[in-house]
Amino acid sequence: MDLSTLTPGPGAHKKRKRVGRGPASGNGKTCGRGHKGQKSRSGYSNRAGFEGGQLPLARRFPKRGFTQVPRHPFAQVNLDLLNHNFESGEQVTKETLLAKHLIKDLKGGIKVLGRGDITKKLIIKADSVSEGARAKIEGAGGSIELIPVAPSRAIKPPRRRKGTAKEA
């Protein structure tokens, strides 16, 4: 077998439609586009979901529910990185992780994950710790201090409109 002898299988290639080749071809004159209208013009391109000016289906239905995306998700730090970058007895906080370029910013919380092994005794202050990481840290003689996660927004009491407060 030679690469120069390869040909596509029967029916794999279809001849393109040649339009505008006289009335006998069945696609002459208007070239299968019909008479007048937007779709008959050159440059027409149909957008997905376009219904000819009618309000599209996606906009006719009411919106339901909501999606709540965390503003700043947890930065994930694994044990092998902590073991490599910190000395025994050192404190691991957001600030020290940022200084050693293990996290990008201080916006989100920190979650310690259990990839790798830890041999050093570290004092870890994090927002969350996985079960596997907790077991390995405590097994190495280290300690974990969980920082309480602050709510993303303070709940405000409803505002009163002017003239609605009862006068005593």
CA angle 164, 167, 168 (to 5 degrees): 150
Q: What is the CATH number of the domain that holds 83?
A: 3.100.10.10
Answer whether residue 122 is part of any domain: yes
For the question of whether the overall pTM of this predicted structure is more than 0.75, the answer is no
**DSSP labels, 28-69:** -TTTTS-SSSGGGSTT--PPTT--TTSPPHHHHSPP-S----
Instruction: Identify whether the C-beta of residue 146 lies closer than 8 Å to the C-beta of residue 129.
Output: yes
Exposure of 105 by Cβ count < 10 A (0-12 exposed, 13-18 middle, 19+ buried)? Answer: exposed
The number of domains in the chain is 1
In the numeric block, which tokens belong to residue 32? 């299968």
DSSP 126: E
Between 106 and 163, name the one with better pLDDT. Answer: 106
The percent of residues above 70 in pLDDT, for the chain, comes to 88
Q: Is the pLDDT of residue 161 over 80?
A: no
Answer whether residue 65 is part of any domain: no
Answer whether residue 83 is part of any domain: yes
Answer whether residue 106 is part of any domain: yes
Answer whether residue 48 is part of any domain: no
Its domain, for residue 106, covers 75-146
Answer whether residue 138 is part of any domain: yes
Q: Is the pLDDT of residue 12 over 90?
A: yes
Answer whether residue 161 is part of any domain: no
Answer whether residue 105 is part of any domain: yes
Q: Is the pLDDT of residue 154 over 60?
A: no
Q: What is the pLDDT of residue 68?
A: 78
In the numeric block, which tokens belong to residue 3? 């690469």
| Spatial CA neighbour of 131 closest among 79, 91, 73 | 79
